Amino acid sequence: MSQLTAMNIMKKNNGFSLVELIIILVIIGILAALATPTINTLGPGFRLKGVARGLYSDLQKAKMQAVKENQPVSVRFVAGVMPNSGYYYFDLNDDTLYNVGEYQVILSNPKDVDFGNGTATNDWNNTLIVPGPVAAITFAADGTANSASIYLENKNNDICYALTSQVSGSIKLRKYSGAVPFDITQWN
């Protein structure tokens, strides 16, 4: 009898019952359903941040290329006709046209990032933002640049990143939080 009782105890401790597994799966499903809307709302902000950092990196690359090759390199910005169809490219021969072989980045990949200032109406100096991208940021052979700002926004038209070139050639990346009404203190 004691041997039979010991076997029953061992059988009960061998794993989970089907009911226990179903309960765990239901709990995981509920947690996933609760987390999905949060992840979907965070996505556009993360993609915008990635594109802004990529542009920052590309502006640094253009500056280094100008110094290395001892000739000006322009990064030209083109607003697309359709929403989310803007792009930028390195104009290596300064003909203001994209030519095969010149480095190009299309902002519509990811599809929810484009040129724009989101809900920011003014910049960090309280200067009115003019809609649309500037024509170009040009780096001279000594690494200096024209002073200009490029604004990127996500599909929600709230958060905005600004990339600003200084005459010294330095690049500054700033973010506007999307606060409405506009609040100058939300630039960081």
Nearest to 71 by CA among 90, 87, 52: 90
> Does the pLDDT value for residue 63 go beyond 70?
yes
CB-neighbour burial class of residue 110 (10 A; exposed 0-12, middle 13-18, buried 19+): middle
pLDDT at residue 164, rounded to an integer:
94
pLDDT at residue 84, rounded to an integer:
63
pLDDT at residue 71, rounded to an integer:
94
pLDDT at residue 92, rounded to an integer:
87
Domain residue spans in the chain? 47-186
Other C-beta atoms lying within 10 Å of the C-beta of residue 22: 11
Structure tokens belonging to residue 174: 């700033």
User: In the structure, what pLDDT confidence band is assigned to residue 47 with cuts at 50, 70 and 90?
Assistant: confident
Give CA 26 to chain center in angstroms: 35
Contact 79, 139 (CB under 8 A): no
Q: Indicate whether this model's pTM tops 0.85.
A: no
The type of residue at 93 is N
Q: Average pLDDT for residues 40-47, to the nearest whole number?
A: 76
pLDDT at residue 11, rounded to an integer:
58
How many C-alpha atoms does 35 have within 13 Å on its Cβ side? Answer: 6
Query: What is the 3 state secondary structure string of 73-99?
Result: EEEEEECCCCCCCCEEEEECCCCCCCC
Domain 47-186: state its class: alpha beta
pLDDT at residue 143, rounded to an integer:
95
Angle at 70 between CA 64 and CA 72, to 5 degrees: 75
Structure tokens belonging to residue 178: 């999307």
> Does the pLDDT value for residue 111 go beyond 90?
no
Per-residue pLDDT tens over the stretch 139-182? 999 999 999 999 998 877 788 999 999 999 999 999 998 888 88
